Amino acid sequence: VLMATVPVDGLIPSIIDLAFNPTFYMQMNLTELMGSWFSPIDVTRKSVFSGHVDDDVVIRYCAEMQQGSPKALLDTLWLGLPTHKNPFRIPMLALSADEDTFFRPAHIRKTAKAYSADYLNMKKTGHTMMIDAHWRESAEAINSWFEKNSPFMN
């Protein structure tokens, strides 16, 4: 199950999207570096959550945020992009989130197609699907998909 995964094209399309909103991009990076000390809660909410998440949840998880790995960043830009797309034909599910600031549903849909994966777009949900306000819908969608696709669940 791929949840808000790095698109098959890497981070370049997402970075281009963020370049059209440089103020938000700067605030988002400051949030990653300094937590909620520097950035208003609404900026943090917009960067990783949907607009439906309570302030206390945003504050709690914002305290856990940290800077990403430079190696992982390079890999997702272009160095570590997969060259063989699902060569073993393993059943896969790719989930996108309507309110994901990083990876638009179109990016994830393209990834699903490249991997011959099933695709679902979660409504009213942000990048952090499993801690967002509508996490149950994401969990139920994944469970339902497993029930249909896993020989161990039948």
Dump pLDDT digits (tens) for 18-54.
Answer: 888 777 777 777 666 665 566 677 777 777 788 788 8
Exposure pattern of 64-91 as b/e (b: 16+ CB <10 Å)? ebeeeeeeeeeebeeeeeeeeeeeeeee
Q: pTM for this structure? A: 0.81
Question: Which pLDDT score, from 0 to 100, does residue 11 have?
Answer: 86
Segment 64-79 shows an average pLDDT of: 76
- The CATH number given to 2-84+92-149 is 3.40.50.1820
